[in-house]
Amino acid sequence: MLDDNGHAKLAKLIDGKAISRAVRSEVAEETQRWTQDGHRPPYLAVVLVGDDPASASYVRGKARACGEAGINSDTITRDTSIAQDELIGLISDLNDDDGVDGILVQLPLPDHVDDDAVIRAIAPEKDVDGFHPASAGALMIGQPGFVSATPAGIVELLERSEIETRGKHAVIIGRSNIVGKPLANLLLRRGIDCTVTVCHSRTQDLPGIARQADTLVAAIGRAGFVTADMVKPGAAVIDVGINRVDDSSRERGYRLVGDVDFDGVSQVAGYITPVPGGVGPMTIAMLLRNTLDAARSRAQVALAD
Ligand code: GUN
């Protein structure tokens, strides 16, 4: 973007770390009030199957964040060899356990397990990941239900950065069930009111469509896919990608980059999220929010029964 003197002006950084800290401390305060009002703390059950180090690390991060927010959680670990029926039996027990508010099954699951069947087994009122078809359907028709963490986190970033969405054109690159499709539905909601276009691998003239975006979201998993020539000057660019690229200068031999060519695009965009430190930190914050909401809405239903 150019400033009033025609000089290149760098995009404003959307600080996901700071915004996630703010959401997490709000959830912690609300949780404290909830327990001070005589309720037990919210409880999240996390199911981790197998020994994938990345999944184990994500789960540790979620458990730590729960603890910091005053939310109780346990991680239930099972061997990779667990039979699908046994896993579904475990979820059924958690569904029936009144002390459990939220259930999260860390994905991916081993190849012999059908992820969809396991997700369908979670009671929708405990589906804090928002992956159950009932949650996805509720989002689509504007009914109450859990919204998955990444799309919810993106909308939180836009709102807290005071980026106008009403009547604006949002272009989402990527049609996944966990980001592209739910985000499209969320941005269409009344009150957010975007005009939404979803692009994918078969889209014709993707750069031309991307250039029409007031808000451009990249969620395709290809390092540096969005380049400066695909961005309208002043647009808000949200980078959901987390890609490893080889980097011998780093001790671990790689670095993480997004789907957006950050250096180039930040010369054109009005706002941009970094990777890491943009969308990523928001996902845990929104999981905490969903878990507190699950505890509240379950307590309300129990009262009404
Ligand atoms: N694996 C990677 N991200 C996620 C997530 O948000 N939820 C679950 N359940 N598994 C994941």
In the structure, what pLDDT confidence band is assigned to residue 17 with cuts at 50, 70 and 90? very high
Cα 106 to ligand 1 centre (Å):
5
Cα 9 to ligand 1 centre (Å):
36
C-alpha distances out from residue 252 to 61, 135, 244, 256, Å: 20, 38, 11, 11
Domain boundaries, the chain: 39-123, 148-279
State the catalytic residues. 62, 106, 129
State pLDDT tens for residues 95-115.
Answer: 999 999 999 999 999 999 999
Per-residue model confidence (pLDDT) at position 3: 66
127 CB within 6 A, ligand 1:
no
106 CB within 6 A, ligand 1:
yes
For residues 40 and 31, the answer to whether their CB atoms sit within 8 Å is no
Nearest CA to ligand 1 atom 2: 107
128 CB within 6 A, ligand 1:
no
Q: What is the rounded CA–CA span in Å between residue 56 and residue 63?
A: 11
CATH superfamily of 39-123: Leucine Dehydrogenase, chain A, domain 1 (3.40.50.10860)
107 CB within 6 A, ligand 1:
yes
C-alpha distances out from residue 145 to 73, 186, 196, Å: 21, 12, 21
Helices then strands, each counted (H, E), the chain: 10, 11
C-alpha distances out from residue 80 to 47, 83, 88, 95, 106, Å: 12, 9, 14, 22, 13
* Choice from 44, 106, 242 to test ligand 1 binding pocket (greatest atom count within 8 A of CB): 106
Class of domain 148-279: alpha beta
Residue from 305, 264, 294 nearest 122 by CA: 294
pLDDT beyond 80 at 213 = yes
CB-based contacts of 230, cutoff 8 Å, min separation 6: 206, 207, 210, 211, 216
Per-residue model confidence (pLDDT) at position 276: 96
105 CB within 6 A, ligand 1:
yes
Average pLDDT score over residue span 275-289: 97
pLDDT beyond 70 at 228 = yes
Average pLDDT score over residue span 202-217: 98
State pLDDT tens for residues 140-196.
Answer: 999 999 999 999 999 999 999 999 999 999 999 999 999 999 999 999 999 999 999
Per-residue model confidence (pLDDT) at position 301: 83
**148-279 and 39-123 share a CATH fold:** yes
Cα 140 to ligand 1 centre (Å):
21
122 CB within 6 A, ligand 1:
no
Per-residue model confidence (pLDDT) at position 9: 76
pLDDT beyond 80 at 53 = yes
Per-residue model confidence (pLDDT) at position 2: 63
Per-residue model confidence (pLDDT) at position 83: 98
pTM: 0.95
Q: What is the rounded CA–CA span in Å between residue 90 and residue 137?
A: 25
- What is the amino acid identity at position 112? H
Residue from 78, 101, 73, 102 nearest 90 by CA: 78
- Strand segments (E) across the chain: 12-13, 43-49, 72-78, 102-105, 169-173, 195-199, 215-218, 236-239, 243-246, 254-257, 271-272
Per-residue model confidence (pLDDT) at position 1: 62
Residues, the chain: 305
Q: What is the rounded CA–CA span in Å between residue 162 and residue 146?
A: 23
Atom of ligand 1 nearest to the CA of 55: 1
Cα 162 to ligand 1 centre (Å):
28
104 CB within 6 A, ligand 1:
yes
Cα 107 to ligand 1 centre (Å):
5
For all residues of the chain together, what is the average pLDDT?
96
pLDDT beyond 80 at 303 = no
Q: What are phi and psi of 76, to 5 degrees?
A: -100, 115
Average pLDDT score over residue span 224-239: 98
